Structure 1
Amino acid sequence: MAQEASYLAAFLVGLMGGVHCVGMCGGIVGALTLGLPESIRNRVGAMMPYLIAYNVGRITSYAVAGALMGGVGLIAANAAALREAQLVLQVVAGLFMVALGLYLGGWWQGLAQLERAGGVLWRRIEPLGRRLMPVKTPWQALGLGLIWGWLPCGLVYSVLVWAIAAGGMVEGALLMASFGLGTLPMLLGMGVFAATLATQVRRPLWRNLAGGLVVLFGIWTVGVAVMAPPAGTG
């Protein structure tokens, strides 16, 4: 039951983090949309398969990254006392959630350092995406989404830290997939209603609300780990 709650929470973090997605990924979605033939671009029904394929690729990459991080966490936990290691990882994940909330609210930009560090990998794989432009088929959109999933992003990196504490590769993949599904409404909306949506979610009210809720969730996550009974009790 606790694991299912984590997936729901990851979905909600993705949903609330949509205000950040507009800034980070809005330009990419716009480039994809504007690069489509006019006969497709002017019809939502014709454009939707491309946007869905693009986002399926992105979420698949998130799930792969989550599986890798979940595996790392499982190895670390097995190398130490399992329960104690999981609680430590949960505290770290909660602190990253607090940092993420501050980042989303625009109150602290420390996670931008993580994005710059991730740029090292991105510079190596980004040229692959250029070869798929302009997008002419949903399959190309899927391939571009698979690459886009590795775009340096403090929001994604924070949830990846959470995936380390998920308990294993499958759990890490499901956690990141849940998060990716949470970002889906905003990014699909960006593809269809880019200008209107971007204007609304960039308002300070939405950023502050999303950031504050994620901070509270991070504090709750740390509190659950700190208040957990010691191993062998209860």
Structure 2
Amino acid sequence: MLISALIFGLLGSFHCVGMCGPIAFLLPVDHKNNVRKLGQISLYHFGRLSSYAIIGLLFGLLGKSFSLFGLQQQLSILVGALMILVILLPYKKFSKYNGSKPIFKIVSKIKSNLGKQLKRKSPDTFYTIGFLNGFLPCGLVYMAVFGAIASATALEGSLYMAVFGLGTIPLMTTAIYLGNFINLNIRSKIRKAVPVFVILIGLLFILRGMGLGIPYLSPMEITPEITATQSCH
């Protein structure tokens, strides 16, 4: 499943360039010193990965609570179905039930702090910008969160989100160095491909939850057996 997170990040990074690109373009990097510039960009990415890992940890704990009740495979099916539903359901209908309005104030504070950090050039600035950037609302991050929940452990959920973040690094780094280098036609084709890939990942989660006995893809359900032995003296 980690491979799906990496591919998800690689494909999703085309979307990230459009959504988070403006933040990356405005990074106060040192354009005269390539070594320092690379270090600053690395701190920015490390900040993003840190926030993704924290998000994955929290939602992995949520998935673990389902796993403790023996519902891991049912959870995998549910997550896969939700991923497909979010893609197929028109955005106007989905936005009525997405429950995001209560967090608008938090998001506005994050954006405000981002604006302040973009004016600074201290070493911790780049990590802070990346860290705050990772918490901004993003549809692709939401999809990756579904994968973290299905991981059903805090560690695997955190790792899933971190690998997703790793997948976004190559294109985001290229964008910082070269600017908005992808033309609108290519970006449009990539954006059309991303929903298809999300649906495929959703089907993969459903297949995994069905327990068809296919190694690595759809393993059989493992039911722990508890045996008690009693000895009398």
Contact map agreement 2:21 2:172 (CA 8 A) in 1: yes
- In the alignment, the residues of structure 2 paired with residue 13 and residue 226 of structure 1 have an alpha-carbon distance, to the nearest angstrom, of 22
The match for 1:158 among 139, 143, 150 is: 143
Q: Aligned pair 1:62/2:52, yes or no?
A: yes
> How many angstroms does 1:163 deviate by?
0.8
Q: Aligned pair 1:168/2:142, yes or no?
A: no
> After superposition, where does 1:1-234 map in structure 2 within 5 Å?
6-32=1-27, 35-36=28-29, 40-41=30-31, 44-78=34-68, 80=69, 82=70, 85-99=71-85, 102=87, 108-109=90-91, 113=95, 114=98, 116-117=100-101, 118-197=103-182, 199=184, 201-202=186-187, 204-228=188-212, 229=220, 232=223
Once the two structures are superposed, residues 75-133 of structure 1 have per-residue CA deviations (whole angstroms, 9 ceiling, x without a partner) of 2332x3x1xx1122212321343356x48xxx953698359545343123333333323
Aligned-residue sequence identity (percent) comes to 27
- In the alignment, the residues of structure 2 paired with residue 180 and residue 232 of structure 1 have an alpha-carbon distance, to the nearest angstrom, of 33
Question: What SS does structure 1 have at the residue aligned with 2:117?
Answer: coil
- In the alignment, the residues of structure 1 paired with residue 94 and residue 119 of structure 2 have an alpha-carbon distance, to the nearest angstrom, of 29
- In the alignment, the residues of structure 2 paired with residue 30 and residue 218 of structure 1 have an alpha-carbon distance, to the nearest angstrom, of 33
> How many angstroms does 1:27 deviate by?
1.1
* Aligned alpha-carbon RMSD (Å): 2.8
- In the alignment, the residues of structure 2 paired with residue 199 and residue 52 of structure 1 have an alpha-carbon distance, to the nearest angstrom, of 27
- Residue type matched to 2:119 in 1? P
When structure 1 is superposed on structure 2, of 55-64 and 137-146 the one drifting more is 137-146
Q: Which has the higher helix share?
A: 1
Q: Which blocks of at least 5 consecutive residues in structure 2 are unaligned?
A: 213-219, 225-233
Once the two structures are superposed, residues 182-219 of structure 1 have per-residue CA deviations (whole angstroms, 9 ceiling, x without a partner) of 111121111012221354641x3222233323322222
Question: What SS does structure 1 have at the residue aligned with 2:209?
Answer: helix
- In the alignment, the residues of structure 1 paired with residue 116 and residue 90 of structure 2 have an alpha-carbon distance, to the nearest angstrom, of 36
Larger Rg: 2
When structure 1 is superposed on structure 2, of 41-50 and 11-20 the one drifting more is 41-50
Report how many residues are paired: 214
- In the alignment, the residues of structure 2 paired with residue 50 and residue 108 of structure 1 have an alpha-carbon distance, to the nearest angstrom, of 39
When structure 1 is superposed on structure 2, of 144-153 and 41-50 the one drifting more is 41-50
Normalised by the size of structure 1, how large is the TM-score?
A: 0.79
> How many angstroms does 1:134 deviate by?
1.6
Contact map agreement 1:112 1:154 (CA 8 A) in 2: no
- In the alignment, the residues of structure 1 paired with residue 78 and residue 121 of structure 2 have an alpha-carbon distance, to the nearest angstrom, of 43
